[in-house]
Amino acid sequence: MLQIFLYNLDIAVEAIKRNKLRSLLTSLGIIFGVASVIAMLAIGSGAQQEILANMQLLGTNNVIIQPVIEQREGEVENDSEELHSQRRYTPGLTLQDLYSIQQQIPHIQAVSPEIIYDTQFIRAGQMRSGKLVGVNSDYFNINNFEIVSGSNFSNTHFQEAMPVAIIGYGVRTRFFPGENPIGRRIKAGNVWFTVVGVLKERQLTSSQIENLGIRDFNMDVYVPAESVLLRYRNRAVVTNRDVQEAQAEESGSNTSTDRQRDRNIHQLDRAIVQVSDNAYSVTIAEIISRMLERRHNQVIDFEIIVPELLLQQEQRTKRIFNIVLASIASISLLVGGIGIMNIMLASVIERYREIGVRRAVGAKRQDIQLQFLTEALAISVTGGFVGIILGIGFGYIIEVTAGIVSIVTLGSILISFGVATAIGVIFGYFPAKKAAEQEPITALRHE
């Protein structure tokens, strides 16, 4: 059987060589179809990897709570109720909210606050603006940070609100070049902090920073939340300065009520809740919302974000988009198959005498059918190989020119090549069958 196949393959190659241009034009549909499918699937694989990387940055099991400075309590029936609603007291988002969430809601693995201050970092005559972030010891595990030098915060650091810090990799490079920063001090604003740990560098692209709403973690300095509240400003505590500012606003303009209402009274700038299983994320987000609404006197001064839902929606949208693109690209394969069938039918008519001669010297119908089927398969397989090379090239060109990550996988190559081979067999079968049905005498008489 192998010998018969090789013999027919040799005949097919000879026929292709005699009509090189026609064979090339016939295989163009297959070539560009395979190339397009591979390029589209490569873009889809790149998008999938990008989404997984974003999930890792935001945390797959995290629920994010963000304060809303402008309070909105919902619809009211009349103006007097609206005025009364606006005057409701709310303590804002506080550390106590997080402690209550962790203690009262099941399936909570860890919680962490974020208290963010824009300040100036100073050391050894160098100064750079940056963000001082008040966190707890769970913050780094929740956000998949790795401490490469030193150690995490201890309970003593929080209980005594000690001036210690864990610095990002960029801060270490900028302020401690060529030396070990552990045990050394860096100034943030008017406070000196002793470095107890250094974070591993986080590779972030500009698109990730913009699309995910995250900052460059490498240039942050992390300190215990209690240290920030004690040594800087605790917005949950009313001070003499707050009273004076409120009095000045009341006597200064008619818009003082709006400014006072929109003043940031939240103790925290952000809170992260890590769920033990992402299957509970949506349910726990709803429970947290109801719980905070009760604690804040029915004032909706917060919003809850489930990053995984946002990323899953993005993933679903991109998957649908990629399926549509791959389907459109597959049309080229269909057109290529029709081209093969058309040319092979014309070839059968041109080679009636050849068919008659082969049948006259003893070739069976099965041999004639296998000959033309092998020729169609050779055209499609050759086009498939060329298409693979072009598809890989297209993926690289798209990545370089458009800045879109494209990953050519073995699966996409096998799928495209398999479809091209199947098209050669399917669309080459009818012309081969027609050639095999020719009677030897009729074929020999054909001019």
Report the percent of the chain where pLDDT is more than 70.
74
Q: What percent of the chain has pLDDT over 90?
A: 17
Q: Are 20 and 96 in the same domain? A: no
Tens digit of pLDDT for each residue in 350-398? 666 777 777 777 777 777 777 778 877 888 888 888 888 988 888 888 8
From the list 319, 270, 336, the residue with the least C-alpha distance to 95 is: 270
- Whether 299 and 265 map to the same domain: the answer is yes
Q: Are 285 and 176 members of one domain?
A: yes
Q: Is pLDDT above 60 for 44?
A: yes
Beta bridge partners of 65: 271, 304
pLDDT tens figures, 138-183 = 998 888 888 999 999 999 998 888 999 999 999 999 999 889 999 9
- Please state the pTM of the whole predicted model: 0.60
Residue that finishes a domain, picked among 271, 306, 341: 306
Q: Do 38 and 118 fall into the same domain? A: no
Please answer whether residues 364 and 443 qualify as being in contact, where contact means their C-beta atoms are separated by less than 8 angstroms.
Answer: no
pLDDT tens digits for 106-145? 988 889 999 999 999 999 888 999 899 999 999 988 888 8
Q: Which domain holds residue 181?
A: 61-306
- How many helices (H) and strands (E) in the chain? 17, 10
Same domain, 293 and 238: yes
What is the per-residue pLDDT for 207?
56
Per the CB < 8 A criterion, the answer to whether 271 and 280 are in contact is: no
Structure tokens at 57: 């940055």
pLDDT tens figures, 188-205 = 989 999 999 999 987 765
Phi, psi of 164 (to 5 degrees): -120, 160
Query: Tell me, what's the pLDDT at 324?
Result: 74
Which residue carries 């800087």 as its tokens?
A: 232
pLDDT at 196: 95
Region of 198 (left: φ > 0; alpha: ψ -120 to 50; beta: rest) is beta
209 and 286 share one domain:
yes
Residue 335 backbone dihedrals phi, psi, to 5 degrees? -65, -40
Grouping H, G, I as helix, E, B as strand and the rest as coil, residue 168 is coil
Residues 268, 202 share a domain: yes
Q: Which of 306, 341, 362 is the last residue of a domain?
A: 306
Q: Which of 272, 306, 340 is the last residue of a domain?
A: 306
96 and 241 inside one domain: yes
Q: Please give the structure tokens belonging to residue 271.
A: 């809170």
Helix axes 365-402, 2-18, angle to 10 degrees: 60
Same domain assignment for residues 339 and 265 = no
141 and 249 belong to one structural domain: yes
Q: Where are the alpha helices (DSSP H) in 59-120?
A: 79-86, 95-104
pLDDT per residue as tens digits for the range 424-435: 788 887 777 777
**Structural domains counted in the chain:** 2
Instruction: Say if residue 17 is in the same domain as residue 94.
Output: no
Domain co-membership, 405 together with 268:
no
User: Cα-Cα-Cα-Cα dihedral of 193, 195, 199, 201, to 10°?
Assistant: 80
CA gap 385, 381 in Å, rounded: 6
Give one DSSP letter per residue of 195-216, joined into a string: EEEEEPPP---HHHHHHTT---
Q: Is the confidence at residue 261, as pLDDT, over 50?
A: no
pLDDT at 79 over 60: no
Quick one: which of 286, 278, 234 has its CA closest to 113?
A: 234
E strand intervals along 26-107 = 62-67
Q: What is the DSSP string of 235-292?
A: TTS--HHHHHHHHHHHHH-TTHHHHHHTS---S-SEEEEEESSGGGHHHHHHHHHHHH
Averaged confidence pLDDT in the chain = 78
